[in-house]
Structure 1
Amino acid sequence: MSHRTEGVNTERQSMIAQKMLTTNKRQKTENISGKTIAMICAGLLVIVVLSITYFIASKGLSTFFVDGVSFKEFLTHDKWDPEGEPSAYGVLPFILGSFFVTALAALIAAPLGIGAAIFMTEIFPGFGKKVLKPVIELLVGIPSVVYGYVGLTLLVPFIREQFDVLGFSLLAGGLVLALMILPTITSVAADAIEAVPQDLRNASLALGATRWQTIWNVVLHSALPGCLTAIVLGMSRAFGEALAVQMVIGNTTKLPGGLLEPISTLTSGITLNMGNTIQGTPYNNALWSMALLLLAMSFIFIVILRLLGRKRLAK
């Protein structure tokens, strides 16, 4: 009887193994169709990105190859007067304005964002996950025009009264952008800190380190690539922001002279002037060249993020 039972079990196991090894036609069809759809979507995405890049590059490069504007003059001269006689296409004030306002926003938001992330994950994780994280997610969803309007009605008058200046300034733009990118930096940095293994914390505490020594020397050191990624993500958003910055910086074509001086950025210059130009004119092509600079900076930010991601995976 036992031999018979063993034979039945062996036969059943062989049948199960045969079914598992036999290719299911329906499953094979689903796999092929799924791969095909995924490849089509990925191909369309690549085509869209290449098309946008080609369109902006073809328009932007016309300034140099069709209109005869010097590339060096375009990047290094500080006079912007496309409708003058003679016309001038120096975008240095816009470039410096974009970099300065982005750097100021990062200097303000990075310590606050990483500090908030430490508070959420290491100091009061329960309160941070239940209260702070939903609040930060709400801040991410606020439209940029709301930030700009708040800066225009509250921040600009405050700066005007306190420092006896116009109010529209690099400082106002940096503060508004810092508030905008703070949720992004906080969220990404919190995820990076949470990803640090608990064993590292326990080992540090077991060796006699205090809580703050563990956070500073172990947790932040291990999460450094992720925190840098958060800062770069915030800077990339700040660099491409247009409406909120445009409402509070003054939009002048002069070189930045200080924190309280009005400036202009590449994004504000494009949005303010593109509607007043005719397609194909040197003025219009120069604005497309500014858009090409923004696209190039976006690619640079992406490359930096990729490098930081590789470093994080290596660690």
Structure 2
Amino acid sequence: MKERAIGIIFTLLGLVSVLFVLLITVYLIVSGVPAIGEIGFINFMFGKVWRSTGSDPQFGILPFILTTIWGTIGSLIIGLPIGFFSAVYLAKMAPKRIRDIFVVIIGVISGVPSVVYGLVGMLVLVPFVRTVFNLPDGASLFASIIVLAVMILPTVIKVSLTSLEAVPKDYEEASLALGATKIETYFRVSVPAARSGILTSVVLGIGRAIGEAMAVMMVAGNVANMPSIFKSVRYLTTAVAIEMSYSSGLQRQALFSIALVLFCFIMIINGILMVLRRENKDA
């Protein structure tokens, strides 16, 4: 009886979670689609000018889309290899004392609010970029990529580390018994066995990078430019965060449309990676 009651409670909680996601989805569709219809899908998605106020407003979000894509890809190129190899080292090679220390440090870093990352980036990284590259302003796509790469590290390391530690020791012992070196065993046996969890860390890292607003708003410059590595840029998230407080009419509806586009991006990426995980699991 007790197990049945617990099962019913968990089922209800799961249904509530699904209901909330459906409500959010419906709300974004209802709020965002009318603006896309009024502006025009092509003009909205592929327009290069965002000027939401004034006598001749324009609502082109292509700069935001490309900035978000390049910023996310750049942060993954930097953050994923560092996080992955750090997880392999901590799980398989590091002495227990060092591993325990780093696990605590990673746990603390993962709990740091995003505004703190943004503040440190604004006070340290932005002036550094400006000085090193001789720029008029260090707030740029490059600075935001570095901040995002640092922010996704704890997630990638923690999830990958947990997955690697869950690999049965028998797999590694069998590989070593067949004459493989430890490095070969780690990367040819342990990593493939943990690839489902590692892909999960990639999904979470992408979600953190795409969904971040506060930190990138403080280091990216927030100008609606087409993306360039050392130019001030604006992400999809920051476009909504910056203007929502004073928006009205079509401008407000367009911001909900941006949120809808961002939501669709995240769902598409999660769907692709879920398919990859399933194919890897079947293989």
Range into which the TM-score falls when normalised by the shorter chain: over 0.9
* Residue 61 of structure 2 corresponds to residue 82 of structure 1: no
**Aligned runs of 1:116-195 on 2, under 5 Å?**
116-165=86-135, 166-195=137-166
Q: Which residue of 2 aligns with 1:263?
A: 233
**Aligned runs of 1:17-96 on 2, under 5 Å?**
27=1, 30-31=2-3, 33-65=5-37, 68-96=38-66
Q: Which residue of 2 aligns with 1:17?
A: none
- The match for 1:287 among 231, 255, 262 is 255
Per-residue Cα deviation, 1:265-291 (whole angstroms, up to 9, x for no partner): 00111111111212xx11111100000
Q: How many residues align?
A: 282
Q: CA deviation at 1:41?
A: 2.5
The 1:58–1:217 alpha-carbon spacing in structure 2 relative to 1, beyond 3 Å, is: same
Query: Unaligned stretches of 5+ in structure 2?
Result: none
The letter of the residue matching 1:126 is: K
Q: Which residue of 2 aligns with 1:306?
A: 274
Per-residue Cα deviation, 1:240-287 (whole angstroms, up to 9, x for no partner): 000000000011111012x22211100111111111212xx1111110
**Contact map agreement 1:252 1:262 (CA 8 A) in 2:** yes
The letter of the residue matching 1:206 is: A
- The match for 2:222 among 251, 266, 272 is 251
97-106 vs 213-222, which deviates more? 213-222
SS of 1:252's partner is coil
Please give the TM-score of this superposition, normalised by the length of structure 2.
Answer: 0.93
The letter of the residue matching 1:188 is: V
Q: Which residue of 2 aligns with 1:210?
A: 181
2: CA distance between counterparts of 1:155 and 1:44? Answer: 42
Q: CA deviation at 1:100?
A: 1.0
**Contact map agreement 2:199 2:277 (CA 8 A) in 1:** no
Q: CA deviation at 1:84?
A: 4.0
The letter of the residue matching 1:209 is: A
2: CA distance between counterparts of 1:212 and 1:32? Answer: 47
Q: CA deviation at 1:141?
A: 0.4
Q: Which residue of 2 aligns with 1:6?
A: none
2: CA distance between counterparts of 1:118 and 1:189? Answer: 8
The 1:122–1:161 alpha-carbon spacing in structure 2 relative to 1, beyond 3 Å, is: same
2: CA distance between counterparts of 1:198 and 1:309? Answer: 23
* Residue 174 of structure 2 corresponds to residue 198 of structure 1: no
The letter of the residue matching 1:173 is: S
Mark the structure with the bigger radius of gyration: 1
Per-residue Cα deviation, 1:162-197 (whole angstroms, up to 9, x for no partner): 111110011110111111110000011112212222
- After superposition, the CA RMSD in angstroms is 1.8
Q: CA deviation at 1:216?
A: 2.3
Per-residue Cα deviation, 1:100-129 (whole angstroms, up to 9, x for no partner): 111111111111101110111110151354
2: CA distance between counterparts of 1:273 and 1:102? Answer: 22
**Contact map agreement 2:50 2:59 (CA 8 A) in 1:** yes
Q: Which residue of 2 aligns with 1:12?
A: none
Query: Unaligned stretches of 5+ in structure 1?
Result: 1-26
**Contact map agreement 1:225 1:308 (CA 8 A) in 2:** no
The 1:47–1:161 alpha-carbon spacing in structure 2 relative to 1, beyond 3 Å, is: same
Q: Which residue of 2 aligns with 1:22?
A: none
1: CA distance between counterparts of 2:186 and 2:9? Answer: 45
The letter of the residue matching 1:43 is: L
